[in-house]
Amino acid sequence: MEVFDANRHFGVQYPHRHDFYELLFLSKGSGYHNIDENQYEVKPPCVFFLSPGQAHSITLSSDIEGYIFLFTSEFYLLNQKNKERLLEFPFFFSTDRNNPPLLLDDPGDVCFLQQLFTRACGEVAPEHTTDDTILCSILDLLLLTCNSIYPRPLSTMSRSKSNIMVKNYLLLIEENYQDNLRVSEYAAKLGVTPNHLSQMVKQVTGKTAVALLHDKILVEVKRLLIHTTLSIAEIAEIMHFDDQSYFTKFFKKTAGMAPMAYRKENARNNAI
């Protein structure tokens, strides 16, 4: 939990992935935030949300101001009886793979959230003895406040059993996508049959369970092609494909072009 401004030492290379949750509250400035394959314009006051496993990069103006709160599920769930509470929020593990920021247009909401972030910063100040119970309570209030004003389709039932199952499936994909598991293996981890999992995924997302899995693998492979110099064979090995030929066929079928063609095309676009 800390102030987020131009003086903050990021110490990371973009794009990057992490295994924790993130709340980014911005009250001033401009720029762009890329999350997986989506780009969002920074329009303060706003709040961005990141789930574990998502890759993101951010370009910001020098007058940026705000706060950032990084936390693990273990920390948030310390005093929670409902262990799936994080998955009930619409902005974490979005089932449509879309993570638009919460745009704040009510001055009262902006003031209240800013007060909460400021108090959280005070709780972790060096001269202050951090109280995890207070910090957890502030985090819970931040999330509940954002949840109450976060826009969502009327048809969305964030707490439905099918929606929670799909989010658990997405969470497992984030944790295991490099192992190239089959849908049946994910279903076993969830304690359901492959057919039941496929039905729930189709009902909630309109896509098949295989398509969601392939979407994640494709996003990560594209990231490796664009932002690393790894060879096609090395990427295939990282992603646990049996051989380079099968990997190339998978990518060409899902992306519409060969891996090297995709790398060259995006290298040219980035150079323009």
State the chain's mean pLDDT as an integer: 89
Could you tell me the two tokens for 51? 């789930």
Give the rounded distance of the alpha carbon of 39 from its chain centre. Answer: 13
Task: Locate the domains of the chain by residue range.
Answer: 2-149, 161-271
pLDDT at position 13? 57
DSSP line for 139-156: HHHHHHHHHHH----TT-
List all residues 6 or more positions away from 153 whose beta carbon is below 8 Å from its beta carbon. Answer: none
For the domain made up of 2-149, the CATH class stated in words is mainly beta
Q: Could you give the CA distance from residue 246 to residue 217 in angstroms, rounded to a whole number?
A: 14
Q: Do domains 2-149 and 161-271 have the same CATH topology?
A: no
Query: Do residues 161 and 182 lie in contact, with contact meaning Cβ atoms separated by under 8 Å?
Result: no
92-107 pLDDT, tens digit each? 988 877 889 999 999 9
For the domain made up of 161-271, the CATH class stated in words is mainly alpha
Element of type H or E holding 173 = helix 161-176
Parts of the chain with a pLDDT under 50: 154-156, 271-272
List all residues 6 or more positions away from 34 whose beta carbon is below 8 Å from its beta carbon. Answer: 15, 40, 56, 57, 58
